[in-house]
Structure 1
Amino acid sequence: MTAHTGSGEPSRTLALLWGEPGADGAAPRRKGPVRSVTVAQVVDAALALADAEGLAAVTMRAVAERVGISAMSVYTYVPGKPELLDLMVDARYARMARAPWAGETWRERLTAVALANRALLTEHPWLTEVAALSRPPLGPGVLAKYEHELAALDDTGLSDVDTDAALIFVLGFVQAHCRAAHDAARVGTDSALSDAEWWAANQPLLAQAFDPQTYPRAVRIGAAAGAAQGSAWSADRAWEFGLARTLDGLAALIGDGGG
C-alpha cells in the first residue's frame, strides 16, 4: 500500500521541514564525523527517482545508493520513507512559480491556480498517489503554496472557512482529473492502443451489439460524445468542461458571475 503525506512521525517530520535542515538544507551539527551529504541532497535524489521511475522506485536503499552513502546511513538523515515523502512533496511545492496576483478577476486567478497544479501533477504524476489534501506536509513549501492560492480568492466576500473550502474544491477537481488522466495514459501504454485507436476498433462493434430500444440514451449520447472526442473519454474535454463547471459553482456562491 502506498503511503500518503502526513503518515510519518509528526515531530520528526516538522523538525526536518523547518528546523534541522537549515536554510541551506544541511544536516544539524552533531558530534562525530562530518556528514558527506545534506538532507536536501537526499530529497533531491528521491525526487529524481520518483520522476524517472515512479514512486515504487523510491526506496531508502535506492536513495542511499544515488547519493553515495550506505543504506543504513540514510536513516541518519531521514528516519523513514513516510517522512521522506513529506519532504519530497514539500520540495516540489516550494519550487512552483508564484507570480504576484495583479489585477486579475477571481475566476482568472483560480484558473491560473488550477492550471499550475495540473502542470505540476502532469509533470510529476507520482504526486497524485501521495499528496493527501487532508494531511499535507506542513512545511514551508506547502504554506507558501497555500498562502499564494488563498490570495486568489481575495475580495470575493467569502468567509475564511468558505475561502479554504473553495480552494480545496478547485484542488480536489484538479487532483481527481489528473488521476483519471494518468490512469488513461497507463491503459494506453499497457494496451499499445491509443484511446482513439481503441474507439475506432470498438465503436462499430458496439453499434451492432447495443440495442437502441433497450439503451436509447447510451447508444445516442455515447455515439455523439465518442464522435466529438474521437474516444470514449477525452482528458482535454473533461478538463475544460469540469473546470468551467467548478468555477460556475463558485460563482453562484460568490454572486458576481465571474469576478
Structure 2
Amino acid sequence: MTERTQAPYARIAAELRGRIERGELRPGDRVPSTRAITQRWGVAMATASKVLATLGQEGLVRAVPGVGTLVAARPAASQGRRPATAEDDGAQRGRIVRAAAAIADAEGLTALTMRRLAAELGVSAMSLYRHVSTKEQLVVLMADAAFGEQALPERPPAHWRDRLELSAALQWRLYRTHPWLAGAMNLSRPLLIPNGIRHIDWALAALDGLGLDDDTRMHAAVTLFGYVRGHAVDLEPESDAARTSGVTGQDWMRAQETRLAALADGGAFPAFAGARAASALTPESLLQYGLTALLDGIAIRITTPPN
C-alpha cells in the first residue's frame, strides 16, 4: 500500500514510527499529543487517538498519567539495534542547532526557547538537555555553526588589505543571513568559538611581516572583527520591526522625508542641510566607508611594505 492510499492514521503512525526507529525520538521523549496531531496533520480527534493506540500496540509508546505519551523505554522496533554512539549524539546536536538557528533567523533570538525548540522538533524539552546543557550553550553552538557556513579560502589574496576586506565581507554576509548573530557576540566576554577565532587568526596572518608588533596586530584584528559586528547589531532590531510592522527601513525613511526636510530647511543645522543633499546613506555604504577608513589607519602604521 502506498503512502497516498494509506489510511490517515496509518500514514501518521508510520511517520512517527520512523522517527522513533531513527532515534529522532528517544526513550522518554514525548510524542505529539492527540491535540497536536489534529493540529499538525489536520485530522479528527478519533484519528489522532488511533495513531497513538497503534503505536502503543506496537510497544513503541506508553501513556504516562499527568505527563503524556512517551517513547517506551525499550521500543520494540529498536531491538537488536546498535546503542547510541558519540557520532549519534553529534548528529542529534547538529539537528538541534540547525532547528534553533532556523527559529532565530525567522523570528529573532528572543523567540528561541527550549520549549519552543522542542515543539518544533517534536520532542520533550527535557530531552534537549541530553545534547545541550543550557540555552546559552546552544547559542554558542549556533554562532559557531553560523561562522562555519562561510569558509575562508585556503589560498587567500596576496595583499593584506584584500585579505582583510574579504574577511569583513564574509562576516557581513553572515550577519545578514543570521540577523541575531551580531547581538549574540560580545567583545567584553567573547564567545570562544573555533570558527569565529578563525577570522581573527586570518587577520593576524594577513598583517604578519609588515613591521607591526604582536600587540598592534591583535588590536587591529579584533578591531576589524568588532567593527563589522558593531555595524551589524542593528540588523536584528530592523528585521523585527519590519516583520511586526510590515514596513521596511527604506519605507520608514521615505515616510520621514517631510519631517527630515523640515529639520534640514529650518536653518538650525546648516552643515547637515548642505551635506544631506549630496549623501545617499545605506547600511552597505556606511560599512564600506568605515572599513576603508579603518584599513587606511592600519596602512599608515605599516613599516615594512608588502612584497
Deviations 1:148-202 (A, max 9, x none): 3432223222222221110111112111222235545555566655555555554
TM-score, structure 1 as length reference: 0.72
Match of 1:53 among 86, 107, 123: 107
Which stretch has the larger CA shift, 209-218 or 159-168? 209-218
Distance 1:147 1:182 in 2: 27
Query: CA distance change for structure 1 residues 125 and 98 in 2, over 3 Å: closer, same or farther?
Result: same
Partner SS, residue 171 of structure 1:
helix
Bigger radius of gyration among the two: 2
Matched, 1:241 2:241: no
Q: Which runs of 5+ in 1 are unaligned?
A: 1-20, 28-36
Matched, 1:160 2:214: yes
Answer whether contact 1:95 1:141 (CA < 8 A) is retained: no
Q: What percentage of aligned pairs have identical amino acids?
A: 33
Instruction: State the match for 1:224 in structure 2.
Output: 278
1:110 corresponds, among 136, 154, 164, to 164
Aligned position for 2:80: none
2:137 aligned partner: 83
Are residues 60 and 159 of structure 1, via their aligned partners in 2, closer, same or farther at CA, if it must alter by over 3 Å?
same
Which secondary structure does the structure 2 equivalent of 1:79 belong to?
coil
Secondary structure of the 2:146 match is helix
Mapped pair 1:39 → 2:93: yes
Which residue number in structure 1 is paired with residue 125 of structure 2? Answer: 71
SS in 1 for 2:277: helix
Instruction: Say whether the 8 Å CA contact 1:128–1:179 is kept in structure 2.
Output: yes
Q: Following superposition, which runs of at least 4 residues in structure 1 exceed 3 angstroms of deviation?
A: 142-146, 180-214, 255-259
Distance 1:75 1:220, change over 3 A: same
Cα distance, 1:84 vs structure 2: 1.1
Q: How many residues align?
A: 223
CA RMSD after TM alignment:
3.0
Offset at residue 56 of structure 1 (A): 2.0
Report the residue type matching 2:167 in the other structure: V
The 5-angstrom pairing of residues 128-167 of structure 1 reads 128-167=182-221
